[in-house]
């Protein structure tokens, strides 16, 4: 585990006080953190046909992007 010694010591002390393992504490913390994150679901309804009105053909667009990346 890549935690600074001071944080690991504090975590271990809290886990001993509360009677659970470091792994369980980290799993719980991760679950809570993930629940708080905004959801960005890319559903078919949101992305289907997203570029249908673009005038470029896909290969033309690809070539234009490559030229931009090459610094032309």
pLDDT at 1: 59
The rounded distance, in Å, linking the Cα atoms of 71 and 20 is 56
Per-residue pLDDT tens, the chain, 72 aa: give them: 588 999 999 999 999 999 999 999 999 999 999 989 887 776 777 777 777 777 777 788 888 889 888 875
Three-state DSSP class for residue 55: coil
Could you list the residue range(s) of the whole structural domain that residue 5 is in? 1-37
- What lies within 8 Å, CB to CB, of 11 at 6+ separation is 3, 22, 25, 26
CATH code for position 12: 1.10.1220
pLDDT at 59: 84
Query: What's the number of domains the chain is made of?
Result: 1
pLDDT at 18: 95
In a domain, residue 56? The reply is no
pLDDT at 49: 78
In a domain, residue 20? The reply is yes
């Amino acid at each position: 585990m890549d935690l600074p010694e001071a944080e690991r010591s504090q975590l271990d002390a809290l886990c001993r006080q509360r009677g659970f393992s470091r792994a369980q504490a980290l799993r719980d913390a991760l679950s809570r953190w993930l629940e708080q994150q905004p959801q960005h679901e890319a559903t078919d309804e949101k992305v289907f046909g997203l570029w249908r009105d673009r005038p470029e053909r896909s290969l033309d667009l690809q070539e234009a992007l490559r030229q931009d990346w090459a610094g032309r």
